[in-house]
Structure 1
């Protein structure tokens, strides 16, 4: 059963290619995504059962290459998977939260914690491309649930937090600007 997501963010593109190969050979995981992101980094996502994903991520860590981030997320939220794949339609809500993270991988882990903490909905995750290797995600919902999800993200990110804001009653044009796919 694919209930876990493993994330490796390599500081090198060449090393990232090697790490992706190491990861899929180390355990019975599915390579979901592998490719370059800004700042010459390489992001790898693998999915599978928890034990296999832990083994795969550990193999990448043990390979000795410089990493910007590594995560194993158990019981990954369907909202996070959907947002990574294609995004989610957004309709008028009482508030939006925007969380900006220092690395692409830390943003995915924080978004998962944020959606699990409250009833706020994840509208978009942007990882690495065109934003110098950083990431951000957008939450929507009532003010209290968005505040709760942003608090969860702050706690998860620690030093990887760039900024997190909650905007009550956002103008629809602001929502569209944040969640539009380019």
Structure 2
């Protein structure tokens, strides 16, 4: 699997239909599908780039209202791993937090952020408990975190809510941002 497709439906019922459409349209694997806040439904599919692109286009063309739609070719393994579970962070020179307007835009921006610098992706939170928004956390040396946050800003454009870099963060702040609640 080298590509990730994301569809964020504005309706739960439509999301269920779209997930079915996506897996039937091409040889993709349904990685995750479920509700997020604000009554939206987030779908992740994986596979080769052509299959994922076909699957996402099928969802886009189905006539339902979407909050987000992305095909990420050459998706970072780091993003895939963090979507499953957050790594343990023991020390970091800086931490970056990027807050996004939609769940799907956060995953796409996180992928660009990890590809641009040596900063590590420590966590991605999509939609639940935060009104359908998302955020992700980057760790590393100050320059790498700043570079990754700059990449996220560029990728997000109007979907950016806020992005910050905290040099020499207190360990309690790092723990609060990285651990799963």
Give the TM-score band, short-chain normalised. Answer: over 0.9
Deviation at 1:89, TM superposition (A): 1.0
The answer on whether the counterparts of 2:26 and 2:51 sit within 8 Å (CA) in structure 1 is yes
Corresponding position: 1:149 with 2:148: yes
State how far apart, in whole Å, the 2-side matches of 1:126 and 1:12 are.
20
Q: Residue 27 of structure 2 aligns with which residue?
A: 28
Could you give the per-residue CA deviations for residues 61-93 of structure 1, whole angstroms, max 9, x where no partner exists?
000100000000011111101110011111111
TM-score normalised by the chain length of structure 2: 0.99
Unpaired segments of 5 or more residues in structure 1?
none
| Alignment partners' CA distance in 1, 2:25 and 2:44 | 14
Counterpart of 2:157? 158
1:132-175 Cα offsets, whole Å, 9 max, x none, are 00000000000000000000000000000000000000000000
Give structure 1 regions of 4+ aligned residues with deviation exceeding 6 angstroms.
none
Task: Say which SS state the counterpart of residue 173 (structure 1) adopts.
Answer: helix
User: CA–CA distance in 2 between the matches of 1:135 and 1:95?
Assistant: 20
Partner residue of 2:120? 121
Output one character per residue of 1:81-112: Cα deviation in whole Å (capped at 9) or x when no partner.
11100111111111000000000000000000
Q: CA deviation at 1:180?
A: 1.0
Q: CA deviation at 1:119?
A: 0.1
- Secondary structure at the residue paired with 1:68? strand
How far, CA to CA, are the matches of 1:46 and 1:150 in structure 2? 26
TM value normalised by structure 1: 0.99
Equivalent position of 1:112 in the other structure:
111
Indicate the SS of the match to 2:32. Answer: strand
CA-atom RMSD, angstroms? 0.4
